[in-house]
Structure 1
Amino acid sequence: RRELQDGDSVPSKLDYDAIIILGGPMNVYEEDKYPFLKDEDKLIKEAIKMEIPTLGICLGAQLIAKAAGARVTKNIVKQTHQKEIGWYKVNLTDEGKNDPMFKGLGESFDVFQWHGDTLKQDESIPSGIQLRACGICCGFDYLLCAAFMNKKLRIIPLLTFIYLVGIFFFFLYSFTQIDLNLTLSTSHLLYAIQQFFQRIGYFQRPLSTFLYISIVLLLYTLYFILYTIAKKNRLGNKNLWTLIGITAGLLFLSYPAFSYDLFNYLFDARIVTLYQENPYIHKALDYPQDPWILFMRWTHRTYPYGPGWLAMTVPLSFIGFQKFVMTLYLFKALMVGSYLASIVAIKRIMQVINPSHTLAGIILFALNPLVLTEALISGHNDIVMIALGLWSVYFLIIKRYWWSIVLLLISISIKFATVFLFPAFVNSFWHYKSREKINWEYVVLISLAGMMVSVVAATFRTQFQPWYLLYILPFASLLVHRPAVVISTIIISIAGSLQYIPFLYTGNWDPPIPTILNAIMVGGVLISLLVVVFQRRFIVK
C-alpha cells in the first residue's frame, strides 16, 4: 500500500499481480499542484504496458483513463449540471455484470461518491479499457466513471490486418467481373492485367466461385469476431474508424462487379447532359450508336427513379465530361460518401437511444460484407436514399423537424422506398403534439417494420434483389442490443451474399437459378427464425 499524497514514492519495480488505484480530492489535471500525480501517471502507463490487471475507483478510474489516452474534463452533464457528492446509485455495465468482482451486488447499488470530472464516452475510452460501472449523472455525450479494468487485446491488430487483407482481395476480385466489351484503360500493361482477371471470372468459373466464397466467408467470420469484440467494449473508436476508412477507400476503387445498375445511372444522366433529352421518355436503346451501349444491360427501360436522383447525378455527368472512367468514379464517390454519412447518422442516433452500444451498432452495419458489396462495390443508389432517410430520423429525434421532413422528402424523391418511414414520423409527431414522452426505440422499430414492408413490396413488384436489404440493415443496427435482431441481420445478410454464387458459377440467370435464389433467401429467413427461437428458449432455461 502506498499513500502518495502523504509522501510515499511510487514503486520502482512493478512486481505485482494486480494494482488498485483509489480516489482522492484532487483532479487528474492538477499535476502542478500535486506533483506526485505525474509519477502516478508514469506508473499506470507502465502497468498498462505490462498488462497488469489494474482497477481504478473514483479518481483512480480517471487516472487510468488519462494514462491510456482519454481526455478527462470537468463534468458538463447536460441533464443535471451537478456533481456526484454523497450516496448515489452505481449501475453495472454488461461487462460489470459478468465480472466476478461484482458478484452479489446486483445490477445497481448505492455507493458513496465524490465526483466532479468526466470523460467523453464514445471517443475518449481507449481500446483495451473496459467500463465496469457508471454513476447516474450521465448524459448521452458524457458519463461519470466509477470503475475501469485494463484488459488489452493484442489480437485486435492481427484481426484488423487480416480483415484488411480480405478487403484487398475483395477489391481485386471485383475486376474478374469486368464486362468483356469494356476496356478500362488503353495502357497495354493495364489491359493485360484486366484480361488476366477476366479470364478468371469468365473462363475459370469454378475457380472464380471458389475465390468469391472464400473471400466472403473470411469477411463474415471477421465481421462477427469484430462485432463480438466491440460488443464487449474492447475495440477502440479510432481502430474502428481506421477500418472503415481504409475499407471505403479500397472498395471505392473497385469495379462494380455484381450489378450493371451503376452503368444505367451513368447513361440516364448522359441522356440529359449529352443528348439533351428527357430520360423519362427516352431510353438507352434510342441511341444505338453510343459506345456505352456495348457493356450495358436493361437498355430497354426508361428512367425508373425519382427526380431527386436525376438532380444529384446530372451534375456528376457534367463534371465527368462524358469520360466513362472519370464519370464512373464520380458516381462511386457519391456512394462512398453516402455510406460514410449513413455510418455517422447511425452513430448519432445510437448516442441518443443506446450510447453504450454505439460501436457495436456501427460495426453491425458498416462492416457487413453485404453492405460493402451493394453500397461500395456495386454502387446501388439505395445507399444514397437510405443515408438521407437515416439523417431524417436523427433530426426527428433531436427535434429539428423541418430538416427532418426536408431530408425525408429528398430521400423519397430518389427511389420512393423510404415513404414507408412515414408511420414512424406520424407516431413521433402525435406524441409530440400530445406532449407525451417519445420512446425512440419504438420509433426505430416502426421504421424497421416500415422498411421491411418496403422490401416485400419491391420483391412482389419485380423479384427479390440482395441490395433491397440496404433498406433494413441500417435500422437493424440501431437495435443491436436485441439478440434476435443481430442474429437475423447476420444470417439474412449471408443469404443475400450467397445469391451471387449461382451466376458466378454458371454465367447466367436462367432457370432453375431463380428458384435456387428464392430457396436461398427463404432458407435464410427460416434459419434465422429457428435460431432466434432456440436462442430464446435457451435463455429462458
Structure 2
Amino acid sequence: MISFFLFIFSLILFSLFSYGFIDPNLIYFRNIFTNFAFQQRELTTFIYGALVLSLFISFYFIFKKPKFDFKNIRNLIILTTIILLFSYPATLSYDIFNYITTAKVTFHYQENPYIVFPIEFVNDPYILFTRAANKTALYGPFWILLSAVPHFAGLSNFVLTLFSFKAFIALFYIGTVYLLQKIDRNAVLFFALNPLVIIETLVSAHNDIVMIFFALLAFYFIKTKKLFSIFALIGSILIKVGTIFLVPVYLLTLLNKVKGEKVYIYATISMFFVFLLSPLREELYPWYAIWFLAFVSLIPGREKMKELLIFFSLGLMLRYIPYMWSGNYFGATPLVRNLLMVIPPILYLFSLWLKRIYRS
C-alpha cells in the first residue's frame, strides 16, 4: 500500500514540476511562466532525478508484489491518467508542438504538410515555440488524418488544442491497456504503470502509443477479422514506419507458422531491433522503448527479463539528465547519457550475479 501512495504522490509532484519547463516563447502560458527549469538547472535536475527514482522504486515494488488486485491496478491506471493529463507536455520533448503545428498547416491553412514548411507562415504565433518548424511533416499520413480530431476539438484555442492532443493520446493509452487486458490480464501491470511509458505517453504525449495501439489491434484480430487486422497494421505503419518490421511476424502468424507466446517473442525481437537501429537515423529516444515494451508484457513469465527491462527503462529516463543539467548536447553530454542509460541494468545484472554467488 505504501508503494501505491508513493507512486501517486510522485505523479502529482511530477505533474506540478512539469510547469517549470514552460517555454519562454509560449505566450499562452505567460501568466504562469517562471523560467525555473532554465534558470535553476542543477535544482531542476535534482528534482527530476528524485521524482523518476521515486516512481521507478514504487513501481518496482508494485510489480514485485506476489499477488495484486486487478481492480486496484485498474484504479491506479485511471488515477495516473487523470493526474498526468493535466501536466505540461513540453517537459522532456517538444514533439506535441510539432503535432499541433502540422495539423494547423493541414487543416487550418489547407496546405500539404509534406511540401509546405510551418515556418513559411511567418506571422503564425505557433512558430515561436515549435521545434523543427523548418521541416515538412515528420510522421505518416494516417497520423495527420487522426490529428484532425484534436485539432478541431481545440476550436482554434491553443490551450484547448494542447490538452485536446493530450487527451487524444491518453485515449490511445487506455485503448492499448484495454487490448493488453483482453489478450492477457497479466500483461497490464508491467506496461501500463511503467514510469517510462506513462511519462512519455501521458506527459510528453508521444504518438508512438497510437502506432502501438494499431499494431496490437492487428494481432488481436488476426484470426477473427483478418481484413480489419491487415488495415490496422497498415494504419500503424502509416503513423510511424517502425512497425513495418512486424510484417514478417504478422505474416507468419497469419499463416499459422507462429503461434502462442512465440508471436510476442518474435514481435519483441523485431521492435527491439528497430529500437537499436534508431541512432542510425537520429538518436536513441527513450520513448522508442514503448515499441518493444508493449510486446514484452505479453510474454508469459520471464520475470527476470521484465525486471531487467524496468531497470533499462530507468536508464533511458536518466538520459535526460545531462542536457537538463548543462543545457547543451555537446562535450561530455553524449557519453554521460549513454553511461546513465546502461548503469541501472548493469547494476541489476550484477545483483543477480551476487545472489547466485551467495547461494552457491
TM-score of the superposed pair, with normalisation by structure 1: 0.63
For the pair 1:224 / 2:60, whether they are aligned, the reply is: yes
State which structure, 1 or 2, has the greater radius of gyration over its C-alpha atoms: 1
Q: Which residue of 1 aligns with 2:330?
A: 510
Contact 1:177/1:201, CA 8 A, preserved across alignment: yes
CA displacement at 1:371 relative to structure 2: 0.8
* Deviation sequence 1:193-218 (CA, Å, 0-9, x none): x23xx343122222111111111111
Q: 1:291 to 1:520 in 2, by over 3 A?
A: same
Distance 2:267 2:285 in 1: 20
Q: Report deviation, 1:385.
A: 0.4
> Does the CA-based 8 Å contact 1:412-1:419 persist in structure 2?
yes
- Whether 1:368 aligns to 2:194 is yes
Could you say which residue in structure 1 is the equivalent of 2:27?
183
Instruction: Give the structure 1 partner of residue 214 of structure 2.
Output: 388
Contact 1:346/1:362 (8 A) holds in 2: yes
Which structure 2 residues correspond to residues 258-273 of structure 1 after superposition, within 5 A? 258-273=92-107
Asked if residue 421 in structure 1 is aligned to residue 257 in structure 2, the reply is no
Question: Aligned pairs, how many?
Answer: 359
2:84 is aligned with what amino acid? L
8 A contact 2:264–2:298 mirrored in 1? yes
Letter in 2 for 1:215: L
How many Å separate the matches in 1 of 2:204 and 2:307?
25
Contact 2:166 2:202 in 1 (8 A): yes
Task: Report the residue type matching 1:309 in the other structure.
Answer: W
2:29 & 2:341 partners in 1: Cα distance? 38
Correspondence for 1:253 among 58, 63, 86: 86
Name whichever of 488-497 and 419-428 sits farther off: 419-428
Give the equivalent residue in structure 2 for 1:470.
290
Distance 1:303 1:496 in 2: 26
Q: Deviations over 1:207-249 (max 9, x none)?
A: 11111111111111110111111xx22x212211111001101
Distance 2:326 2:339 in 1: 17
Query: How high is the sequence identity, in percent, across the aligned residues?
Result: 33
Does residue 1:401 correspond to 2:226, yes or no?
Answer: yes
Structure with more of its chain in helix, by fraction = 2
Unaligned runs of 5+ in 1: 1-155, 352-357, 433-437
Alignment of 1:44-83 (within 5 A): none
| Amino acid in the other structure paired with 1:517 | R
Letter in 2 for 1:405: I
CA contact (8 A) 2:3 2:59 kept: no
Task: Quote the offset at 1:308 in angstroms.
Answer: 0.4
Shift of 1:539: 11
User: Alpha-carbon deviations, 1:245-296, whole Å to 9, x = none?
Assistant: 0110111111111101100000001001222111101112211211111112
- Please, which runs of 5 or more residues in structure 2 have no aligned partner? none
CA–CA distance in structure 2, aligned partners of residues 502 and 218 of structure 1: 19
Alignment map for 1:298-313 (pairs within 5 Å)? 298-313=132-147
For residues 12 and 351 of structure 2, the distance between their equivalents in structure 1, rounded to whole angstroms, comes to 32
Partner of 1:411: 236
| Equivalent position of 1:59 in the other structure | none
- In 2, distance between residues paired with 1:165 and 1:204? 23
Q: State the match for 1:172 in structure 2.
A: 16
Letter in 1 for 2:268: L
Q: Which residue of 1 aligns with 2:51?
A: 215
- 8 Å contact 1:284–1:293 — kept in the other structure? yes
Q: How far has the Cα of 1:537 moved from its partner?
A: 5.5
Summarize deviations over 1:501-525 as a string: whole Å, max 9, x none.
1122122323321232233334456
Using the TM superposition, give the Cα deviation of residue 473 of structure 1 relative to its aligned residue in structure 2, in angstroms: 1.0
Deviation at 1:500, TM superposition (A): 1.1
Determine if contact 1:200/1:207 at 8 Å carries over to the other structure: no
> SS of 1:479's equivalent?
coil
Helix, strand or coil at the partner of 1:300? coil
Pick the aligned partner of 1:330 from 141, 164, 172.
Answer: 164
TM-score (norm: length of structure 2)? 0.93
What are the residue-to-residue correspondences of 1:144-183 with 2, within 5 Å?
A: 156=1, 158-183=2-27
More strand by share: 1
Q: Secondary structure at the match of 1:472?
A: helix
Q: Distance in 1 between matches of 2:358 and 2:107?
A: 59
User: Which residue of structure 2 lines up, in the alignment, with residue 493 of structure 1?
Assistant: 313
Q: Which residue of 2 aligns with 1:343?
A: 177
Residue by residue over 1:370-411, the C-alpha shift from the partner in whole angstroms, topping out at 9 and shown as x without a partner, is 111111101111111011111222222x54322221211111
